[in-house]
Structure 1
Amino acid sequence: MTVYDTARALPGIEELRDHSRGLAMLEAVLCPEWESRYYSFDAHWSDHEQLASMKDGQGDEYTIVLSPAGAFARVFAHESPLSPFGELADGQTWPGVLDGVPEAFREYLTEPAFTDEDGVHVTTACLWREPADTAWHTGPVEFTDLDDHKDPDGSDRLLHLLTDRSAEAYATWASAYYETPVDPEAVRHVLALRPLTAELVTALNPAMDLADLADDIAEIGYPVA
């Protein structure tokens, strides 16, 4: 699996936006400490941009900028052979990864949040989609001599809850990660962006109170009743 396969499995921009908000809200309920969350969503990243993101605390991450121009996604798998910090890439973004990025997203190629101190884009996979597009696009990346890597650019593993958007997929992952049972029906409610209730929050995390989530709801832009 490579970024080409991932591109075919990703949903449209609005579905991706809504699903990302749902993931972030689930994380806010299950994990009160923001720094320890996997999935986040900033509905106010700038006055015209939103940011969906994932960080696993081990060096892997993704960021997706959502704006009137569309969506620009970068993935960084730190152990990927395509990593700029690996032996094969020699300190540079892997050839082809950023090729073809349209003018609407060119500013993100020098965005400090996505580059290192030398200006190298810290990315192993890149995808983008403009509003009129019918599919996601990627650069012309060659995976020659990487046949022994099942997921050479990390996009399959790191974006798996965006390509498999079922409540069961998240519940299975979260139950293992947080080491507690997570109810798929409660997950389904949140992924559908239905307003939260005290009972639902308690079902997901008995230690969490609905009132405690006010700031997270505002940051995520999660719908309220």
Structure 2
Amino acid sequence: MVRTLPDIPTLRERCRAMAMLDAILSPEWESRYYSFDARWAPGEQMASMRNGSGDAWSIVFSPSGAFIRGFDHESPMSPASNDGELWPGLVDAVPQVFSGCVDEPAFSYKGTLEATVCLWRQHGDDRWHTGELDLPDGNDPDGADRLFQVLVEGTAVAYHRFAEDYYETTVDLEAVGEVFALHPLSDELVRRLNADLVVADLTDDLIEIGYPTRHV
């Protein structure tokens, strides 16, 4: 399923929208599920997910394209289940332009990339690529379907379903749709999602995420 992710620009905008929605629903950064850092490194941006239980993904958007790593801590493909080694073939075919992502300390544990899923796509590619893997038996052995479900579906309805379950609150679906469409925030829109906030409270998040502040 994860190979059906959209092209790089569309994926980046989905990530921005989900991060902005989480910023509104969860003012405390530590409690958020989705995040986006538009200034993660020179020339690079990063979208991320962490569920608080050890699962995570990271997407690095760079001048070369995009690199994705996902980590299901209970997967039989986890380095923890394989003497600290990555699953055979997981990163062997990663292009050199993404080698820094494979070696990125922020994505690693004891010097090894925390990953059970790995994809990449260079600008000009017509699809996402993965290594040649011999997957273990079982349903969703690498955790990709579960980790990337909301991102793959890529709709306001999918995020709405996630948010009501994760944050255990009622969420305005129409407001979610407006943010998913990257409409500039207004106090009225923000209050429909979180009655305790206005746009001014989100200034730092707007900058970090690079969320549009006016129609273009």
Q: Quote the residue 2:51 is aligned against.
A: 56
- More moved, 102-111 vs 124-133: 102-111
Q: Quote the residue 1:197 is aligned against.
A: 186
Q: Quote the residue 1:105 is aligned against.
A: 98
Match of 1:6 among 2, 5, 30: 2
User: Hey, what's the Cα distance between the residues in 2 that align with 1:188 and 1:71?
Assistant: 25
User: Hey, what's the Cα distance between the residues in 2 that align with 1:152 and 1:77?
Assistant: 9
Q: Tell me if 1:143 matches 2:138.
A: no
Kindly provide the amino acid, as one letter, of the partner of residue 194 in structure 1. H
Q: Per-residue deviation at 1:181?
A: 1.2
Q: Quote the residue 2:170 is aligned against.
A: 181
User: Hey, what's the Cα distance between the residues in 1 that align with 2:20 and 2:113?
Assistant: 29
Query: Where in structure 2 are there 5+ consecutive unaligned residues?
Result: none
Write 1 or 2 for the structure with the bigger share of strand: 2
RMSD: 0.9
Q: Per-residue deviation at 1:90?
A: 2.1
User: Hey, what's the Cα distance between the residues in 2 that align with 1:37 and 1:46?
Assistant: 21
Match of 2:83 among 90, 101, 106: 90
User: Hey, what's the Cα distance between the residues in 2 that align with 1:28 and 1:121?
Assistant: 27
Question: What fraction of aligned residue pairs are identical, expressed as a percent?
Answer: 52
Q: Tell me if 1:26 matches 2:18.
A: no
Q: Quote the residue 1:120 is aligned against.
A: 112
Q: How many residues align?
A: 214
Show CA shifts across 1:167-219 (max 9, x none): 11111110111111112211111011110011110001112222100000000
User: Hey, what's the Cα distance between the residues in 2 that align with 1:198 and 1:209?
Assistant: 5
User: Hey, what's the Cα distance between the residues in 2 that align with 1:50 and 1:208?
Assistant: 26
- 4+ long deviations beyond 2 Å: none
- More moved, 168-177 vs 106-115: 106-115
Secondary structure of the corresponding residue to residue 77 of structure 2: coil
Q: Per-residue deviation at 1:78?
A: 0.3
Query: When the two structures are superposed, what TM-score results if normalisation uses the length of structure 1?
Result: 0.93
Kindly provide the amino acid, as one letter, of the partner of residue 202 in structure 2. L
User: Hey, what's the Cα distance between the residues in 1 that align with 2:92 and 2:172?
Assistant: 42
Q: Quote the residue 1:169 is aligned against.
A: 158
Q: Tell me if 1:129 matches 2:118.
A: no
User: Hey, what's the Cα distance between the residues in 1 that align with 2:153 and 2:49?
Assistant: 15
Query: When the two structures are superposed, what TM-score results if normalisation uses the length of structure 2?
Result: 0.97
